[in-house]
Structure 1
Amino acid sequence: MTDTASRTTPTTVTTTTADEINAAGIGLLVLRVGFGGLMAAYGAQKLFGWFNGPGLSATQDMFEGMGYNPGALFGTLAGLTELIGGLLLVFGLFTPLAAAIVVGTMINAINVLWSGGLFPADPSVQGYSTPLLFAIAAAALAFTGPGRFSLDHGRPWARQGVVWGGAAVALAVVTAVVTLILKGVL
C-alpha cells in the first residue's frame, strides 16, 4: 500500500515589529534600573549610611550579631555585593555576573530570615519574601539578558540565554553555600 496523500507541515511566520523590540528593551531597562538601583541603594545604606542606612560600622556589628564572624568581613562583603551587583544591573553590564552576585547575596539573606517564614503573621518579624523576590528578579535577568538599552547590548562579551542564566544561578548557589560554610566555621 502506498500513501499518496500530500502532507503539509503548518508553518507559523512570526514577525517582530520594531515596536515590540523597543517595548521589550524598555521593559528590561525599567526592570534593571529600578531593581538594580534599589539593590545599589541597599548596599550604599550598609557601606556609607546613605538613604537612612546604618553605615559600615553598624552593619559590621549587625553581621557579627547574626553569626557572620568576622562581622567586618561579612558586613563589608554584603554591602559591596549589593552595591556592585546593583550598579552593574543598572547599567546592564556583565549582566549574568551581576545577577549571580545579587542571587548569591539574596540566598544568604533568605537564610538569615528563614525562621520568620515567607509571610510572618507577626508584623514585627521579618520574613524572607523580599530577598526571595529580589533573587527571582535577578535570576530572570540572568536568563533574559539586559535588553537593547544596556552597555552589554551588541558587545562581544554580552551573554544571555539558558546556558548563561543557568551558569549564573549555579555560580550564585555555589558562592552562597561557600559563604554559609565560612559563616559556620569562622
Structure 2
Amino acid sequence: MKIGMLVLRLVVGLLFFGHGMQKLAGWFGGGGIEGTAQGFEGMGLKPGRDNAVAAGLSEAGGGALLAAGLATPLAATMITGAMGSAVFHVHKANGPWVTKGGWEYNAVLTAAALAVAAEGPGDLSLDHALGTERSGAGVALAALGAGLAGSAGVAARARALA
C-alpha cells in the first residue's frame, strides 16, 4: 500500500498542480490569469480575476500538498472546493458523463483526494515524516464539507455580483 498511495498522490496531485498553473501562469497551454479571468467572467464568475486566482491557488496548492502528502486534509479540502465549483459552474447541466462535458472526471478526482484524506497519505509522505498525519472518515467528511462550503461561497458571491 505504501507505493500505491504514493502513486495515487503523485498522479492526482501533480495533475492538479499543472491544472492550477495553467490558470496562474499559462503553463501547459493554459490561459494564465487574464485568459482564465475572461473565461470565468463569461461563466458569470465575477470578478473573474479574483476567481481565477482563487481557483488556480486551490488547484496548484492543493495538488502540490497532495503530491507531497503534506497537510493532506487541507489538500483534500482545496481540491474538493475547486471541483465543486467546476461541477456547479461548468459541468452540472451536462449530466455525469465526460463525453458530454459532464462531471464524472471531477467526481473521480474529488473521490481520490477524499480517499487519501480518509486513509492517510501513507508512510512515504511528509505528513508521516513530520508526525502530522491526520486521517479517517471524520477527516474526509470534514474536508468534503469545508470544500463544498467554499464552493457554495463562490456560487453565492457570483449570484450577488450578477
User: Normalising by structure 1, what TM-score?
Assistant: 0.82
Gaps of 5+ in 1: 1-23
The structure number with the bigger radius of gyration is 1
**Residues 113-163 of structure 1: CA deviation (Å, up to 9, x unaligned):** 11111126xx5x521111111111111111111000000005343200122
Partner residue, 1:68: 45
User: Normalising by structure 2, what TM-score?
Assistant: 0.93
Q: How far apart, CA to CA, are the structure 2 residues paired with 1:82 and 1:40? A: 6
The alignment's C-alpha RMSD in Å is 1.3
Decide whether the 8 Å contact of 1:100 with 1:142 is kept in 2.
no
SS where residue 127 of structure 2 aligns?
Answer: coil
Structure 1 or 2: larger helix share?
Answer: 2
For residues 1-40 of structure 1, the aligned pairs below 5 Å read 24-40=1-17
For residues 36-51 of structure 1, the aligned pairs below 5 Å read 36-51=13-28
Q: How far apart, CA to CA, are the structure 2 residues paired with 1:118 and 1:167? A: 24
Alignment counterpart, residue 93 of structure 2, candidates 112, 115, 118: 115
Percent identical among aligned pairs is 38
Partner residue, 2:104: 129
Q: How far apart, CA to CA, are the structure 2 residues paired with 1:137 and 1:173? A: 16
Higher RCO (C-alpha 8 Å, min separation 6): 2
